[in-house]
Structures are given as structure tokens and as C-alpha cells.
Structure 1
Amino acid sequence: MMTMKMNDEITRQQQELASLIDRHTPSAGTYDTPISSLKLFRYDGESQPIYSVYDPALCIVAQGSKLVMLGEEYYHYNPASYLVASVNLPITGQIIQAAPQHPYLSLQLNFSTDQIVDIIKASHSEWGHKDGSERGLLVSQTSPSLLDAVLRLVRLLDTQRDIPVLAPLIIREILYRILQDEQGGASIRKFAVAGSHAQRIAKVISLINRDFAKPLRIDDLAAAANMSPSSLHFHFKEVTAMSPLQYQKQVRLQEARRLLLQDMPEAANAGFQVGYESPSQFSREYGRMFGLPPLSDIKRLRESLA
């Protein structure tokens, strides 16, 4: 009986969340909100692969479903689950369930490691540190308490005068609810523990993102992480599902695509800006990732956006 009541409550919360997001997203697209860390999304149909670099964030689907690819791993989430990225990760996403009468509706709430550390310090909970994967991306089952807090945050968009005072409190509660989750919380906490393997890899990820156009020097990254090169490779792949070089390549190519989409006329110039010295190598690796050579891909992308 309790399980049935819980399922009924989750269904009601999902329907209200979908209604709120639908009202604040009048057409397909990505919407910034008066809550700076909160974005809303609407797609009126299934999508082609969408390439992006996730910041640390909580992602919740209110309606429809999405497939996310990290390295060669696939993560599927829908209204029954949530996705958490604990570090910056280059991913490929695809809307796999959406229609004009039943659009894909979701939200993304960005957060920082400092926020997580602050909550851990303030809490008297004996969470401990569980063994297991250090992967920086996971999908976990949602709960009524998490959805309740998320709903109260999104409702603030209708009473914007309350946002400066109430939004930080509700966001703190949302992150606390995730930390309480046995699966999601265990993953996030690893990246907040000073000196942990996950925390040191997060530092390396930050360095690669900052200097992605420069040559990758594993010895320098290993020294920054206080690891041996072999240990760095192992733990980096544990977190990101790819090697440091593969990670840098994905970040470079996604940035090149963004530059080309912003009317950079020459593909070679975009390649040079993101660190490629050989136009042919850039074109080859770009085509391998996006399916077409740079200018053909941008033409296709612009047509699909139009």
C-alpha cells in the first residue's frame, strides 16, 4: 500500500513539474531562468545527437526520455530517474521520446563542489565513503522528497521576488536530498573529499578544459594530481570513461564546432584555434566524431536548426 501511494505521489509531482516547465518554455529550445543555475529545456520531437560539455549538474526529465553517451557507455533517463554529472564531461545526448503533443521537458540545475562540501560539513549524517565506481556520471531513481524540493524551486519562477531569498535555500535542500541517495550521494561525495582519487582527477579535468588548445603533457598532469602517469590514466578513465587524450579531443572538436557555427568561415582556422596543427588531421577527426567533414556538418546543423 505504501509503495502504491508513493508511486501515485511521484506521478502527481511529475505531472505538475511537466506543466510548470511547459508553461515557461513556449517553444522548443533552451531557456535560462531568473534562477542563474537553473535551465529549462523543451524539444517537440526526437533529436539528432547533441554534443556538449556537461558542467557539474543535476538533470531531471519531467516528460519524455533522453539517452546520454559518455565515451562508449550509454545512460538512459526519464521521469522515473535523474542524472548527475559530478565533473565537467564531454557527452553526446539524444532525445529519444518526444512529440509536439507530448514534448520532451526537462531541467538542469548546475552546482559546485564547494556547495557539496558545505552541505557535508554542516550535516551530522554518517554517510561514510562507499567503494565502487568513481564514474563522474550516473543515473539514479528519483524520490518524492527530491521532486518536492525541485517543484518548489521551479514554482519560484512565478514569484520572482522570492528568488533571492528562497532559491539558495531550496537548492541547498535539493543537493542534500541527492547526497542522501545511497547511489547518487556516494558518487558526488567522492569528488568533494580532499585528496581522494576522484577529487584529484577533477583537478586534472579542470586543467585540460582550461588549456585544451595546448599540447597534452601527461607527466605535468600527473604531477598536478600527485599521481604516477599510469595511475592518472587508470583513475581518469574510471571517472570519465575515456583517456585524457580522448577527453581533450572531444573538448577540442566540440569547441571547433561551436566556432564554425558562429560563422568562422574557414574550417582550418577553427582547427588551429583549438590546437590542431594539421588541417587534414582536424578534418579527419572532426568527421569521425560528427559524421561529416566540418563545413558539410555545419551546413547540415544549420538546416536542422532552421
Structure 2
Amino acid sequence: MFNHEGSHLRNELAGYIEKYTGMDGTYSTPISALHFIRASSETELVHTIHEPALCIVVQGRKLIMLAQECYVYDPSSYLVVSLQLPISGQVIQAAPERPYLCLRLDFDKHQIFELIKSGQETPPKKSGSPKALFVSPMNQALLDAVVRLVRLLDAPEDIPVLAPLFTKEILYRILQAEQGQSLKQFAVSGSHAQRIAAAAQLIERDYNQPLHIAKLSAAVNMSPSSLHHHFKEITALSPLQYQKQIRLQEARRLLLSETSAAADAGFQVGYESPTQFNREYARMFGLPPIRDIKRLRDSLDFGTHGT
């Protein structure tokens, strides 16, 4: 439970997010890795490829789905995504008088590695496969560090020097928390987590090419069975399922941003059969491609709500 100071810090964060948003949507800030999200009503399920980040809900509640796993977080907790993941998100608590307010701080494994290398954080202990996504209870030390980072928006001349320091402290606080061990492993060369992160990066890079498990496992120095096991443990998806979701997300982006026909979009992302593409697209997004894109284009706020 938070004391009075914790509640005050949350209210201060809410004030900053309202000040720098004003309307529903996702907003960048003068701190390049920091983004604010606002929604005045509950949303439909939004599919996205989520980059590594810390996400903190200041007001409201969010549901995140990764394959068959569901996570809910609110002001009492925070979400960490350790590698690129195809996830679905839905604001499940928001109202005009009390909107959903969230901040996202992007980071990469090199920042974690530097903390460990500098001796400011202990190396990870050997353990089972970590999760690429986790929700942890919020603590006041982390919240305090986040507020100090956000306050820099009022002192832009301090951002170049102090933002990297406060971000480093935020990552340190996450690593010190109960599930920090999971995050550490993604930064350590040779760990299962690091190899799976490399495999995921290769799949994403060549998502429109046939996936050869033997070649992929050799590239990350794992056996095919070990790759499949640890990939599923860490991402909740098999390598093929991961590729399929990347392909379908990209096809949807192509259809929204261009005048591509459904068959052309399917072909561009690696599908040889339009029938298979239409079937798998509808299974993931709820409607066949053309109807889904029409629904999105008819919506005034499609794609505006981030995690």
C-alpha cells in the first residue's frame, strides 16, 4: 500500500500527463524515450508490436494479452516488456471525468548491460527461462524516480544531462524489484534469454521469408528443440506463431497505409495462399481484411491508444 506521499506522486504524474496530452491519444515528449497515453473511455482490443519498455498506469486499468496469457495492471503495479512482442491491449477502466492515463518509457538491453557491467547491479543468477513480459507491484522508490524524470519536462535545459541519469535509476529500481532477475537475463551474452531475443530479432527482420528452424537455431547456437522450448517459455509463442503474428500485423499496417489489395498485402508479408491469409487474418483480428480495414478507417480514433 502507498502512503500519502505515494498518492501525491501519482497525482503529480496524472497532472503532467493531462498537461502534455489534453486529448485522447499517444504523445511523444521532449524526453525522446518517454511517451504519454490518454483515453477517456474503454477501448476495443488493439493489436501491436510492443518494443521493450516500462509502462505505468497512473489512472484507470489496462488488459494486456500475449498469446493465451492475460495481464491486468493499474496504479498499484507496472508492466515491463523485455523484447519486441506481438501483443493485444485494451483499456478496461476509463471515463471522461477520470480518463485512463499512462506513461511508457522505452529502453534497450544495452542500458541494462551497462548497469551490470558498471557494477551498479549484480549479474543475474542462473535460473529457468524468464518471461519477456511481466507485471510487478509498484514501489515508492521506482515511482519517485519516474516523477523526477517527468519533472524535467518543466526544465528542458536539464534534459540532456539529467534524463539519462534518472532513466538509469529507474532501470536500477526495476532490476532491484522482485522480477528484476527476468529483465537482467536479456542483457547477458550467452543466456537463453539473450539467444531467444536474438532469434526473435532475426524472425522479425526476415518475417516475409520461409522460417527454417534448423537455420535459425544454428544462428543463435541452440538446438532446434531447445530453441522451441525456450522461445515458448519466454514469449508464450512458438517461433512460427511469433512469425505469423508479425506477418499479420505488418499486413494490417500495409492495408491501412496504402491502397494494397488484401491478396497483395498477404503476398508481401510472405503468404502464398490468399485463402490462408484471409483465414488467419480473420482469426486474429475478428474480420476478413477488407471489412476489418473499413471498420478501422470508419473509426475516429483507431490506432491512437498505446500501451
TM-score range, shorter chain: over 0.9
1:62 aligns with 2:62: no
Measure how far apart 1:304 and its partner are. 2.1
Measure how far apart 1:126 and its partner are. 4.2
Higher relative contact order (CA 8 A, sep 6+): 2
The counterpart of 1:208, out of the listed 203, 216, 219, is 203
In 2 relative to 1, CA 242–128 (structure 1 residues): closer, same or farther, beyond 3 Å?
closer
1:110 aligns with 2:101: no
SS in 2 for 1:36: coil
Equivalent residue, structure 1, for 2:257: 262
Distance (Å, rounded) in 2 between the aligned partners of 1:124 and 1:84:
20
Count of aligned pairs: 301
Instruction: After superposition, give the CA deviation of every residue in 1:180-208 in whole Å (9 maximum; x if it has no partner).
Output: 1121x111011111111111000000101
The structure that is helix-richer by fraction is: 1
Q: Are the aligned partners of 1:264 and 1:270 in contact in 2 as well (CA < 8 Å)?
A: no
Equivalent residue, structure 1, for 2:280: 285
Q: Are the aligned partners of 1:179 and 1:188 in contact in 2 as well (CA < 8 Å)?
A: yes
Q: Are the aligned partners of 2:136 and 2:178 in contact in 1 as well (CA < 8 Å)?
A: no
Equivalent residue, structure 2, for 1:40: 36
Measure how far apart 1:272 and its partner are. 1.2
Q: CA RMSD in A?
A: 1.3
Structure 2 residue ranges without an equivalent (≥5)? 302-307
Measure how far apart 1:128 and its partner are. 4.3
Distance (Å, rounded) in 1 between the aligned partners of 2:24 and 2:120:
43
The counterpart of 1:246, out of the listed 234, 241, 248, is 241
Structure 1 residue ranges without an equivalent (≥5)? none
Instruction: After superposition, give the CA deviation of every residue in 1:125-184 in whole Å (9 maximum; x if it has no partner).
Output: 54641634411000001111111111111111222122111111111111111111121x
SS in 1 for 2:31: coil
Distance (Å, rounded) in 2 between the aligned partners of 1:213 and 1:205:
14
Q: Are the aligned partners of 2:123 and 2:184 in contact in 1 as well (CA < 8 Å)?
A: no
Distance (Å, rounded) in 1 between the aligned partners of 2:300 and 2:292:
12
Most deviating of 215-224 and 11-20: 11-20
Kindly report structure 1 stretches of 4+ aligned residues shifted beyond 4 Å. 124-128
Which amino acid in 2 is paired with 1:175? L
Q: Are the aligned partners of 2:217 and 2:224 in contact in 1 as well (CA < 8 Å)?
A: yes
Equivalent residue, structure 2, for 1:17: 13
Equivalent residue, structure 1, for 2:304: none
Distance (Å, rounded) in 2 between the aligned partners of 1:51 and 1:277:
23
Equivalent residue, structure 1, for 2:185: 190
Which amino acid in 1 is paired with 2:56? I
1:87 aligns with 2:68: no
Most deviating of 87-96 and 117-126: 117-126
Distance (Å, rounded) in 2 between the aligned partners of 1:157 and 1:259:
35
1:169 aligns with 2:165: yes
SS in 1 for 2:114: helix
Most deviating of 87-96 and 295-304: 295-304
Q: Are the aligned partners of 2:66 and 2:86 in contact in 1 as well (CA < 8 Å)?
A: yes
Q: Are the aligned partners of 2:65 and 2:87 in contact in 1 as well (CA < 8 Å)?
A: yes
Q: TM-score, normalised by structure 2?
A: 0.95
Equivalent residue, structure 2, for 1:273: 268
Distance (Å, rounded) in 2 between the aligned partners of 1:257 and 1:301:
10
Distance (Å, rounded) in 1 between the aligned partners of 2:259 and 2:149:
39
Distance (Å, rounded) in 2 between the aligned partners of 1:139 and 1:133:
16
Q: Are the aligned partners of 2:71 and 2:135 in contact in 1 as well (CA < 8 Å)?
A: yes
1:231 aligns with 2:226: yes
Measure how far apart 1:265 and its partner are. 3.7
Measure how far apart 1:232 and its partner are. 0.6
Instruction: After superposition, give the CA deviation of every residue in 1:196-223 in whole Å (9 maximum; x if it has no partner).
Output: 1111000000101111111111011110
In 2 relative to 1, CA 297–125 (structure 1 residues): closer, same or farther, beyond 3 Å?
closer
Most deviating of 129-138 and 82-91: 129-138
Distance (Å, rounded) in 1 between the aligned partners of 2:205 and 2:78:
28
SS in 2 for 1:182: coil
Measure how far apart 1:86 and its partner are. 0.7
